[in-house]
Each structure stands twice: as structure tokens, then as C-alpha cells.
Structure 1
Amino acid sequence: MNSSRRGALKAGLLGVAACSVPHAFASPATARQDTTASPSGTTPQPWGKGIEGQRKGDLGNGYFLNPIMAGDYPDPTILKDGPDYYMTFSAFENYPALIIWHSQDLVNWTPLGPALEKPIGSVFAVDLVKHGNRYYIYIPILPTATGPDADHRPKIYVVHADTITGPWSDPIDLQIPGLIDPGHIVGEDGKRYLFLSGVSRVRLSDDGLSTDGPVSLAYEGWQYPDEWITEAFSLESPKLLRRGEYFYLITAEGGTSGPATGHMVNAARSRSVLGPWENCPHNPIVRTQSDSERWWSRGHASLVEGPAKDWWMVYHGYENGFRGLGRQTLLDPIEWTTDGWFRAKGGDLSKPIAKPAKGKSNAHGIAKSDNFAMAAFGTRWNFYNPGHGEQARARFENNALLLQGKGLTPTDASPLAVLTGDHHYEVTVQMELIGEAIGGLLLFFNKQLYLGMGHDGSRMTTYRSGRPSYWPEPAPAGRIWHLRIVNDRHIVTFFYSLDGVKWTRHALRSEVSGYNVNVADDLASLRPALFATGAGSVRFSNFQYRALA
């Protein structure tokens, strides 16, 4: 859902490129190292490096450096289940959706698989909970249907499973139109409730699969000073927990994109889930104070108890200078104060923080390279805005992905994309054109904004700003192509080769820092993607991802 529509919805619920001559290319040059202060403040400390050199938070010395999930992992919802932690994120138009991630130390996360396979609309700001012995995900869905009679109001669905790895049920419509951002809580009366944008509240049935009463206004928010620079009021993302004699309600205000200083984390409490709610005298708990900080638009928080019974806050933020990576997941230590409130201890999150004590580290992330020996939908690859049965377009045979063409341009091709959280990386793939197909490699933000290369066997098409460019790249004819894209901190260079040995640099370079939410008005990220259009198919093989220094 685009940011202005999302903000307006919530408010409404509350009453040149440099040209050069092509040349042969052997290997990309090395570049700068991302660094920050070490725990001692004396020597530079890089981010940790994981699979394929991917950026990760764990520094390997007892400290971590945010983000804990690098890349487009917005609206985190976290569940503690004994020694295990599970987390999932907004998926929007990317399916399979709602990948469940697992950790035992809050820093290193391993994907388990998706909870939502079949596309039903744009998925955002969910709540993952466990009640009794069953797992639930409460899911706001914005319909993507078009036409004069289409209902564009969001709806709340729920899926459930007996184990965290599923199988998950089909989505159940809770018949709550026009509201988003669910937060589940069990009240002092033993009844289950959903809090929603606004902030509204509705009681649930005991099985959590239907409502049991009307939707009513629950809380009107904390009013920040009018002179603060924010996107919009946007009272959203109610997350709740019960601790001691109080229920705590954590909300976001200020809008999730727009100015860097907009988004914030606020708190309120009550002795009853029905209120009245007392605003924290220390609000906002978290807010970006200046656009000179590393993390912008910090908000949408949940509290979670750590392995050593200490407490942490998980939320998202945009990285200064890298909004195109989307909203990344941040981990902030908190402490409970003598007056029964809590405060954040991580400051602006620009420096390493001691890892949660007593946690057990597991492998972090997943390889993005793929030899296509088997399907990896929902963990590595996601279709953008797919139709029903979209996965049937893809067949895996002889270590290759055979992708059937769809549409005429990448705009309507439902590209197959992989997330990235790195500042500097390269992706390479081999493709073979079959029949009357056009295939290619992109950096894809959404159907209006992308760039890359495509080839139909006779000529190459260059894409920029979401449409074919006038640039007539003199690539030869050919049915088998090797394509490479290098993104070096927003400077994007294309390369192509007929044999995978001698590479030609595309004569056009692009600067892509503008491929972000405040330009595209969409809560998305720029990610590598494969596409196939036309009447034929494209056989992709040997997709390689490499994070560079």
C-alpha cells in the first residue's frame, strides 16, 4: 500500500546518468568498507559478514550492530515461545508471503517458510501470536482488484496453525472493513481482543476466528507538539503486552515515510484492557531527532523479553542514505523504570550494542544465489503482485528455472525478486530465450519504477524509471545471454556477455538513490529480479549474488 494512501486511510479512520563507451569487463573493482565505532570507540568496526558476504548484525565479538535484519523487513511482529523467537514482516504485493523467521538470541535469524501461499491482496502490518497451543497471524489485506465496483477497503483476516512451520489454514475474513494494524491481547476478563488502527478495539471469539461484538474507539493517542516535522499524525500499529498490574499499549505516530523525524514510538498503560489509558510522561520513547542520524523514521515497535529476562524493543527504520533498501529491522535494549514505565537505552543505534545475554546463536539469513535445483519460493524468491496460480509459470529442470512469459513489459510480468540489504553488491544470471520471449535482469522497486536489461534475441532493451529507455545499446543478437548488474551505493552499472567470459559494460550508468518511498509513494525496496514476457519462456540458470566491500 503506498504511503500517502496508507496515511490518508489512517487519518480518515480517525474522523542522468553518465554515458561511456562499452568496454570489456573482467571483474568489479573493490570499494569502501562500511564502518562504525567499535565498542571501545578506538578502532573502526565493520558490520558482520554472513553468507555470500551479506551484511549482518552479529559482529562475532559479543556485540551486534543494527540492523538485525538488513533490507526490506518492515513492521516486525515478534513472538517469544519458550527459548524460541519467531518474527515476520509486511509482505505487501510479494508472494509467497509472511515468511516466518526463527532465532534464539534476537540477533541471528533463520527463515522457516511462508505462512501465506495464495495471493489475496497487499499484506502489511500483521500480528503473530500464540494462544493456548495454537499459532495465529492476524493479517490486514488491502484488495488489489481494479474496476469501478471493486471494494478497496482493507480487511482483517486470520490464519492459524498447530505448529509454527504449518501447515497454515486458509485465510478467514473477520469482517472488519476499513481498519488495519491488528494487535492481539488477552484481557483481565480472559477474553481475546484485537486493537486496530485508530486506535479501535474489538472483542474476539474464544477461538480467535471471528469477532464477538462491535468495533469501538479505544484510545485517541498522544498529541505531540504541532511544530514537530512529521508526515502525518497516523496513529497506528497498536501492540500490547501485560506486565504486572498494567496493560501496556505501544503505538506509532508521525507517519512511516516522509520526513526523517516523523515516525515515533509512544506508550500508554491501563489496569484494564478496556481503559482508560494513561499516556507515558516520557513520550516519545523513540524518535529520530535529526536527519544527521543513521536511522530515520523509527517506529512500529513491539516489546519482547530476552533470553536473560531482560527486555528489548523491535521496530523498523530507514537507513540514512539508503532508503531504497526499505525499512529495516532494528533491536533496541530497554529498561523498566521505578515509575513502572520503560525507556530505550540504545540511543540513535549507530554504535554496537552488547548482544542479549544467554542467547544461542543460529545461522543468519539465507543464500541468495541459486542453481535452481529446487524451488525456493517464499524463502529466497517472491513474485511481485502475482495472479492466482503464478507459481505454475515456473518449472525447475536440469538446474534451471523455466519461467513462462507474462505480459508485454516488466510492468505486468510479475517479476521474481530477491531481497537485498547490502550497500554494494552484484548479481549475475544466465538466460536462454525460448520462443517469442523477452527475458532480463532488473533492479525492481514496483511496477512503475525499475531499471535493467532485457533481450528478445534480436536486440537489447534498456529499462529506466519503469519504462523502456530511448538508449539504443548496440548489443548483438543472441539467444543465450549472461547478464550482470552491479549496484555500488546507488551507482548502477549493467554488463552483458554472450559466453560468460568476455563482458561488455553497458554504455549507460544510472544513479538510483531516488528509487525510494518518497519518490515512488510506495512502501517498497529496490531488489534484484528476473522477468519473462511474451509468448515464449526464458530458461534462467546460475543466479549468483555477491555482496561487495
Structure 2
Amino acid sequence: MGLSRREALGTAFAGGAAAMLSGTPARAAGTSGAPEACKARPAPDWKRGFDNQRIADLGDGRFLNPLLAGDHPDPAILKDGRDYYMTFSSFDSYPGLTIWHSRDLVNWQPRKAALSRNIGSVWAVSLEKHKGRYFLYIPVKATPNDIYVSWADHIDGPWSDPKSLGLHEHIDPCHAVAEDGSRWLFLSGGDRIRLSDDGLSTVGKVEHVYDPWRYPDDWDVESFSPEGPKIVRHGNWYYQITAVGGTAGPPTGHMVIVARSRSLHGPWENDPANPVVRTTDLSERWWSRGHASLVEAPDGSWWSVYHGFENGFWTLGRQALLDPIEWTADGWFRMKGGDLSQPIARPKGGAALPHGQPLSDDFRTLQLGAKWNFFQPGPDEAARARVENGALVLKATGKAPSDSSPLMLIAGDRAYQFECSIEIAPGGTAGLVLFYDDKLYCGLGFDETRFVTHQYGIERGRPANPYGRRLRMRVANKEHVIAIHLSGDEGRTWKRFDRGMEVSGYHHNVRGGFLMLRPGLYSAGAGEARFRDFRYRAL
């Protein structure tokens, strides 16, 4: 399969950037004179699953990254017997911290969300099991910042109400057990603090135990930002795996470094081969790779899970990637997947679960947490939504997507469309959106007399609405080019709405926030809106 339009643009950008750095003219990507490093290798197309969504498992003993498409940042993975569980930073989306389940490391299914109460923007968590009990250590950006702990006796919960640990100066905790049985939280910046025996409170003060390896000054990075420590014990060594270089910014910034110690109490020595993962060329398929964990597969092989941005698709957020590793004779490990643009032989063993889930929804049940999430919900936000006679009934609040807490889902495809039949009450406004955050979104809404066009995070044109209080709406996102169609006869005939959009800049490096551009629906104004027959399809 050849390069897509977006990949071609990304490759051309890579050539231009290299030329600007070197001071030599850039040749067009794909010409005979183009530098070899700027020729991104085509990859086979992805296999397709529910709703034609791309999936990693190629079905022939190989897989092709991303492991989980769309925004699945800061993966926290737990091996629990023959089961694997994983969760990701959920930021301002609630219910949050959806737990994913796998038996083979390649195919994953969502289960339930572990966090329902809005405690702030949830960053990189630690998911652990200790003496038969599951723990989540949850850092949040709030006022003040904090790290919480929640526990459960079953992975599906119920999870306890999050309890503050009073750690206001750190992020990215990682639970670890020392050789003497003591429990610790390793933190950003090379610090740690001891935990009580039950893991629900801290003991003593934060201490600095590790000075992370530092990259050369002439590398293009966002910032030093040592974060995301992950601790794993293998053989006679503890390994501390850390991200440095900044999470976003230059594609060559985010990277993975490693240190090891015979004791969890140190001293820690840095790997002389650091960094063990880093994007080095802008033509690579995966950018800003970091926040790595190690895990053993069912066949005894070892793998690393981390995240990265897809070349040209910052809008999809940081996607989960799977990289094979090998242990070296001198006791270090090396990543073997290269730039992850090509298929990789998958780990053997383990029963494969059907991967992912349908994003289309007939609204017979309300799948909050596993599929749908509110943005920055209030304490009683979930009470706004119910299902009734095959419809999602969503009580109106606010005046626009910016203050109505849209209901959204994660779509990991580079081109897709979604559509829904919508009926509003008198005085109501509702519609479909592509939503980054409350300051940056686009889409279309309508009341009973006029449309409202959402673009750049503001409400713009208000042309007349000939459909009244009921219509069917379709939004297509074709590699960042947006088209909207409308139907008054339940999709038998369609008319294109006279406003197109381009959204390649709706992402973190423009707006901040570490989020992704997500399909969603909203209900504002007065009364309730009814959404029926939501259909998603990757293109």
C-alpha cells in the first residue's frame, strides 16, 4: 500500500525541515534525488474490525502498530496470571480510567471504568496488584495538584472512592515493592516516597534517589521533564524506565531511558546505550515515543508498551504501541521494533479476544465509561443521560459545546464518518461535534429555526434550518478535511451543508492539554435531545 495523502505531507515536511536545519534546498518528497532518510517506507494496510476500524492483529502471526489506535496515552499495564490489564490517562473525560483486558497482548477489549467522580484531569497512573488487591495510583492536575489512591478486590470493581495522598509537587507515580517487602511510590524527577503496608497512605517524606540520564544539548526536544517512571524486576536487577525530552513538541523530543540497580533502594546506574527508544528522523511513522513499561508475554518473550504520535496525525493523540525487546548478555535490554512502521511477529500463546468494540450504538444500553465519556462533568452529569426506546436522551445544559459537557468517544482511524438521527425539544439546540476541548472544536448544531456552525471553538454562521426539530446529520473526517451532510428522511437522501472545515491543527502542539480530537454529541439550551441510530464507520 502506498503513502496516504497525510503521510506524503508528513514526509515532505520532514524533507523541508531537514533542509532548513542543514541550510540546503529541499527536494520534493518521493523524487529520485530525495535523501533516503526522508522516504518513509510504505506499510501494509491494517486489518479491519468493528465498524471497519483498523486493528493491530493481521491474522497471519504478525501485528502492525498501533496496538490501540486513537488516544491511549501513558499506558499502565498489569500481568495478572494469564490475564493482562491496561489503562491510560483519561484527563478530563469521565467516567475515566477504563480498564482494558487481553490474553495475548495484541487483542484488547474494554471492560469498565474505574473512576466516576471528577477529581481533576487524570494523568499517568500506576495499575498494580499486591497481595490479591488491585490498586490505582492516580495523579491529577487540579487545585491543588495531588496523587490519589483507589483499590478494588476485583478488576471490575467496585473501586473505592479515591483517597488523597497529599503529594502536590509530583506526577506519574509507580508502585514498587522492594526486596525487603516495603512498598514505595516512584515519582517524576527521580524521586520516591514510602507507602504504608496497606498502600493507602505515605510514610515519611519524598526523597531524591535517581539522577536521570541527560541527552546532548543539540538535540531538538521540548524540555528535560523526567517523568513516567516504571519499575520492573527481572533476574537480579530492578530496572527504572523513564521518559525524558517532553511529551510533545518536536517529534524527536520524547524518548525512553533506563537505569538499573541490584536493590530498589539504589544506587541506580544509567544504561550507557541510552536512550533505548527515540524518534530520530521526521520521516518515521511514529513520533514522540515514550512512557514505556515492560511486560512478559504468554510465551515468555518480553515486550514494551509505550505511546507515540502518528506522523501527520497529532489530532489522534498519543496511541499505544507494542515493541519487542531482547535481554542482552550484560543484563540490559534493547528494543527490536525499529521505527514500528512494519509488521512484527506477534507473541505466541494466549487466547485472542475480539479486539476493541463497535463505536456504532443502537442505545439499547448506556455504555458510559467503556465507550462514552463526558468532558469535564459536574458531580451529577451522568444523571443527564438515559436510554429510552432505542434512543439516548440527553438533558440540555449550557448554550454551546463549550459549556454543555459533550458526550464523546475515542475514534482511532485516520478517516471516518459518524451519523445520527437527532430530535430536539422546543428551545433546545443539539448536534454533532469534533471536540478537542472547550476552547477548540468544530461541527454543527441546530435549533428549530436555525443552524449553528461550530468552527475554531466558536459559534459562527446561523443559516436557516428547513428541517425543524428533527433531522439526521453526518460528519465525515477524511484525513482532517471535514464535510457535513444533512437528511430530512432518515438518511435516504442527503444534502451537503455549505461549510467545510480543515482540522489538522486541532491538537496539543497548538492548544495544549494532551488530548485528541474526538467525535461527540451535545445537547444545549432547554429540554432534552434524543439521539438515535448512531453509526460510525472508518473510511
* Counterpart contact for 1:473–1:507, Cα < 8 Å: no
The one of 498, 518, 521 aligned to 2:512: 521
TM-fit CA distance, 1:44: 6.3
Question: d(CA) in 2 for partners of 1:160 and 1:215?
Answer: 22
Separation in 1, partners of 2:181, 2:244: 29
Partner residue in 2 for 1:4: none
Q: Which amino acid aligns with 2:283?
A: S
| Corresponding residue of 2:373 | 382
Structure 1: which 4+ aligned runs deviate by more than 6 Å? 31-35
Question: What is the match of residue 341 of structure 1?
Answer: 332
1:449 corresponds to: 440
How well do the aligned residues superpose, as a CA RMSD in angstroms?
Answer: 1.7
Please state how far the C-alpha of 1:219 moved relative to its aligned partner: 1.2
User: Counterpart of 1:304?
Assistant: 295
Worse overlay, 399-408 or 87-96? 399-408
Q: 1:404 to 1:153 in 2, by over 3 A?
A: same
Contact persistence 2:6–2:312 (CA under 8 A): no
- Taking the aligned partners of 1:230 and 1:193, their CA distance within structure 2 comes to 30
Q: Report the residue type matching 1:132 in the other structure.
A: K
Structural mapping, 1:298-377, within 5 Å = 298-377=289-368
User: 484, 491, 497: which is aligned to 1:494?
Assistant: 484
Aligned to 1:168: 159
Other structure's SS at 1:546 match: strand
Contact 1:254 1:262 in 2 (8 A): yes
Is the contact made by 1:460 and 1:475 (CA closer than 8 Å) also made in structure 2? yes
- 1:118 partnered with 2:117: yes
* Number of aligned residues: 504
1:214 is displaced (CA, Å) by 0.9
Equivalent in the alignment of 2:184: 193
Cα separation, partners in 2 of 1:61 and 1:32, compared to 1, 3 Å = farther
The whole-number CA distance in structure 1 between the counterparts of 2:6 and 2:374 is 32
Q: CA deviation at 1:249?
A: 0.3
Q: Distance in 2 between matches of 1:320 and 1:414?
A: 30
Q: Which amino acid aligns with 2:477?
A: N
Aligned to 2:104: 105
Alignment correspondent of 1:215:
206
Aligned 1:217-296 pairs, distance under 5 A:
217-296=208-287
Aligned-partner residue type, residue 357 of structure 1 = K
| Structure with higher RCO (Cα < 8 A, 6+ apart) | 1
1:438 matches 2:437? no
Contact 1:96 1:118 in 2 (8 A): yes
In structure 2, what residue type is equivalent to 1:79? L
Aligned equivalent of 1:76: 75
The letter for the 2-side match of 1:321 is G
Contact 1:134 1:160 in 2 (8 A): yes
What are the within-5 Å matches in structure 2 for residues 454-473 of structure 1?
454-469=445-460, 471-473=461-463
Amino-acid identity (%): 54
Q: Work out whether residues 415 and 529 of structure 1, in 8 Å CA contact, stay in contact via their aligned partners in 2.
A: yes
Query: Superposition pairs for residues 395-406 of structure 1, below 5 Å?
Result: 395-406=386-397
Q: CA deviation at 1:359?
A: 2.7
Deviation at 1:473, TM superposition (A): 3.7
Partner Cα distance (1:391, 1:169) in 2: 18
Cα distance in 2 between the residues matched to 1:473 and 1:340: 67
SS in 2 for 1:302: strand
AA of the residue aligned to 2:105: L
For the Cα contact (< 8 Å) 2:426–2:448, is it kept in 1? no
Deviation sequence 1:504-534 (CA, Å, 0-9, x none): 1011111111111111112101111110111
Aligned-partner SS, 1:198: helix
CA contact (8 A) 1:314 1:330 kept: yes
C-alpha contact (below 8 Å) 2:43/2:341 kept by paired residues: no
Query: What's the CA shift for 1:475?
Result: 3.5
Shift of residue 328, structure 1, vs aligned partner: 0.1
In the other structure, the counterpart of 2:19 is none
Aligned residue number for residue 52 of structure 2 = 53
Q: Secondary structure at the match of 2:160?
A: coil
Match of 1:482 in 2: 472
CA gap 1:59/1:32 in 2 versus in 1, 3 angstroms = farther
Take 2:154 and 2:318, find their aligned partners in 1: how far apart are those partners? 28
Q: SS of the counterpart of 2:113?
A: strand
- SS of 2:204's equivalent in the other structure is coil
Aligned residue runs from structure 1 range 1-40, under 5 A:
none
The answer to whether the Cα contact below 8 Å between 1:251 and 1:266 also exists between their aligned partners in 2 is yes
Match for residue 183 of structure 1?
174
CA contact (8 A) 1:449 1:515 kept: yes
CA contact (8 A) 1:491 1:509 kept: yes
Letter in 2 for 1:57: A
- Assess if the C-alpha contact under 8 Å between 1:473 and 1:506 holds in 2: no
Q: Deviations over 1:369-408 (max 9, x none)?
A: 1111111000110000000010101121111111111111
- The structural deviation recorded for 1:535 is 2.0
Q: Is the 8 A contact 1:93 1:384 kept in 2?
A: yes
Distance 2:293 2:432 in 1: 37
Once residues 473 and 248 of structure 1 are traced to their aligned partners in structure 2, the CA distance between those partners, rounded to angstroms, is 60
Equivalent residue number for residue 93 of structure 1? 92
TM-score normalised over the length of structure 2: 0.91
Are the counterparts in 1 of residues 467 and 488 from structure 2 also a CA contact under 8 Å?
no
Amino acid at match of 1:531: Y
d(CA) in 2 for partners of 1:51 and 1:332? 24
> Is the CA contact (8 Å cut-off) linking 1:34 and 1:46 kept in structure 2?
no
- Name the SS for the 2:382 alignment partner: helix
Give the partner amino acid of 1:476.
P
Q: Which residue of 2 aligns with 1:202?
A: 193
State the alpha-carbon separation in 1 of the partners of residues 106 and 6 from structure 2. Answer: 22
Instruction: Name the amino acid aligned to 1:514.
Output: G
Supply the distance in 1 between the matched residues of 2:416 and 2:465 (Cα, whole angstroms).
24
Amino acid at match of 2:113: P
Please give the alpha-carbon distance, in whole angstroms, between the structure 1 residues aligned to 2:506 and 2:523. Answer: 22
Deviations 1:201-250 (A, max 9, x none): 00001110001111111212101100000000000001001112211100
Number of the residue aligned with 1:156: 147
Q: Distance in 2 between matches of 1:300 and 1:448?
A: 27
**Maintained 8 Å contact 2:7/2:311:** no
The separation in 1 between residues aligned to 2:188 and 2:133, in whole angstroms, is: 25
Structure 2 CA distance for partners of 1:51 and 1:415, relative to 1, 3 Å: same
Distance 1:418 1:218 in 2: 40
Contact kept, 8 Å, 1:70 with 1:329, in 2: the verdict is yes
Equivalent position amino acid for 1:111 in 2: P
Tell me, yes or no, if the aligned pair for 1:229 and 1:261 is still in contact at 8 Å: yes
2:469 partner amino acid? R
Post-superposition shift, 1:141? 1.4
| Other structure's SS at 1:314 match | strand
Query: Counterparts of 1:430 and 1:269 in 2: how far apart (Å)?
Result: 56
* 1:23 paired residue number: none
How far apart, in 1, do the equivalents of 2:431 and 2:400 lie? 10
Q: Secondary structure in 2 aligned to 1:214?
A: strand
Letter in 1 for 2:406: P
The structural deviation recorded for 1:434 is 1.0
Q: 1:302 to 1:336 in 2, by over 3 A?
A: same
